[in-house]
Amino acid sequence: MKKFNTSNPLPYRLRTLFLVVIMVLVAGCNALRFAYDHGDTALYWWVDSYFDLEGEQGDMVKRDIDNLFQWHRQTQLQDYAALLGTFQRQLGGNVTQADLIADAREIQKRVELLGMRAAPDMADLALSLTPAQIANLERKFTSKNEEFRHKNLRGDLEKRQRVRFKKSMEQFESWFGNFSSEQKKIMRQASDARPIDDEVLLEERIYRQRLILALLREFQQEKPSKEQATEQIRSLLRGFSQRMESPERKAFFDANLDGNAKYILTALQSATPAQKAHAQKRMQGWIGDLNTLAANR
């Protein structure tokens, strides 16, 4: 099922294409098709906002994004549809917490695959960057971190839990329709039982950002080949993924995943047959959308 507020070890730029497909599902079928068909343009402008692309860089990035989307449409969308089919069957059965944790790991595998596939394109961009563009990226990171602090680290624990619950309920109700006051009371208790440690999440963001900046500056000095840069980027991505199993972070990531799985399971168990039917109908539309997008190659 859809996961809420989980921590992902991959940098945001590497997740963008996958999230175009998965996260916009909450907006409905037409929005999914529209978002995916215009995702290449959105991704280009997103990259440009971080690096302020110059001259031939823009053409190179557009070409690489076009190629990435072509590969993604041809090889990944039917797999996403099949994965949603699994979620749909779980919704109609007796889904367990172990099922939900397994679902999260299946999604993570696909995010990692996308990162590995995009690594040569990221190497092209990384090797073309100027010191000024790397400095611009650093300023962007700093700005985004301040935005994160403003949104997530203000107020006492109760306020932060309330804001988090409100966001998750908007997502749940986009799937299932409206929940009753009694249902929301049960779900609020489950939501508040989840770990809330945004300070750690911010530390992880900054940790990843520092490694990204260090690698880009190393490229500036060492001038590696594209093949060497690609492997270094893939090694960086593998390190981000493996960090979830590191002694200093495994307990945090495990508790985060376990708490979110319990929360989603509470929502599923409290949903009425009509609400589940509503969710299954929407999910079937998304499955059809993904298959249609895959066919339009």
In a domain, 99, yes or no: yes
In a domain, 276, yes or no: yes
In a domain, 6, yes or no: no
Domain tally for the chain? 1
CB neighbours of residue 75 within 10 Å: 12
In a domain, 211, yes or no: yes
In a domain, 223, yes or no: yes
pLDDT per position as a tens digit, 188-217:
999 999 998 889 999 999 999 999 999 999
pLDDT in tens, the chain (297 residues): 434 333 333 333 333 333 333 333 333 445 667 778 888 888 899 889 999 999 899 999 999 999 998 999 999 999 999 999 998 998 888 899 999 999 888 988 888 898 899 999 999 999 999 999 999 999 999 999 999 999 888 889 999 999 999 989 998 998 899 999 999 999 999 999 999 888 999 999 999 999 999 999 999 999 999 999 999 999 999 998 888 888 888 898 899 889 999 999 999 999 999 999 999 998 898 899 889 989 886
In a domain, 27, yes or no: yes
* C-alpha Rg value of the chain to the nearest Å: 20
d(CA 149, CA 153): 5
Long-range contact set of residues 155-158: C-beta below 8 Å, sequence gap at least 24: 157/196
In a domain, 176, yes or no: yes
* Predicted local distance difference test score (pLDDT) of residue 31: 61
In a domain, 25, yes or no: yes
pLDDT per position as a tens digit, 220-252:
999 999 999 999 999 999 998 888 888 888 898
* Predicted local distance difference test score (pLDDT) of residue 93: 86
> Residue 106: which domain range?
12-295
Please answer whether residues 233 and 211 qualify as being in contact, where contact means their C-beta atoms are separated by less than 8 angstroms. no
Q: Which amino acid makes up residue 21?
A: V
